[in-house]
Structure 1
Amino acid sequence: MRTALLAPALSLAILGSAPASAAPLCDELWGERNAVYAEAGYCFRTPRGIQAFGNAGCRFDEIRDVPLSARDRQKVSAIVREKQRSGCRE
């Protein structure tokens, strides 16, 4: 399980990186957020999500139905905030 991606993200936010240089960061944040959902059983719909995580063993078609622990919800919230600060598009 990947858990250490927020530290570089926060460092880049503090340094005030330009949006163009944030593209790799945005990809990392996308992967980190979706890894939480994949581990909890989300069934991806987009080609990107399916290619990155697959759908083997998925159980939830709606993201709102995915049961996340309080810790996972906090992690997702922190990632979403960092994506917004970094100017990432969905």
Structure 2
Amino acid sequence: MLRLTVLALATLAAGPALAQFPCDELWAERNAVYKEAGYCFRTPRAIKAFGNAGCRYDELADVPLSARDRAKVAEIQREERRAGCQP
């Protein structure tokens, strides 16, 4: 189920479209960007959802994100704050 949600969100254009998604889906989309870039998750929730197979970066600051991915993560984080999502 999570994989389908992430794929559905990934096809959306940036902008107000994110406002229609609940916190869990925003969380999944943001973390899918990190997973694809090689982040090694620490929380049980993220490890359960994404696993750590093939991860390469223990520190989030070390994850090499493209400008597009950085912008996408920033937009998702703004929406998470606006919606009052818990970290």
Question: Could you tell me the TM-score, scaled by structure 1's length?
Answer: 0.79
Q: Which runs of 4+ in 1 moved over 3 A?
A: none
* Structure 1: 5+ residue stretches without partners: 13-23
Identity %: 65
2:77 is matched with which residue: 39, 59, 80?
80
Residue deviations 1:37-79, cap 9 Å, x none?
A: 0000000011101010000000000000000000000000000
Paired residues, what number? Answer: 77
Work out which structure has the larger RCO, using CA pairs closer than 8 Å and 6 or more positions apart in sequence: 1
* Structure 2: 5+ residue stretches without partners: 1-5
Choose 1 or 2 for highest CA Rg. 1
For the aligned residue pairs, the C-alpha RMSD in angstroms reads 1.8
Question: Could you tell me the TM-score, scaled by structure 2's length?
Answer: 0.81
Q: Distance in 2 between matches of 1:5 and 1:37?
A: 19
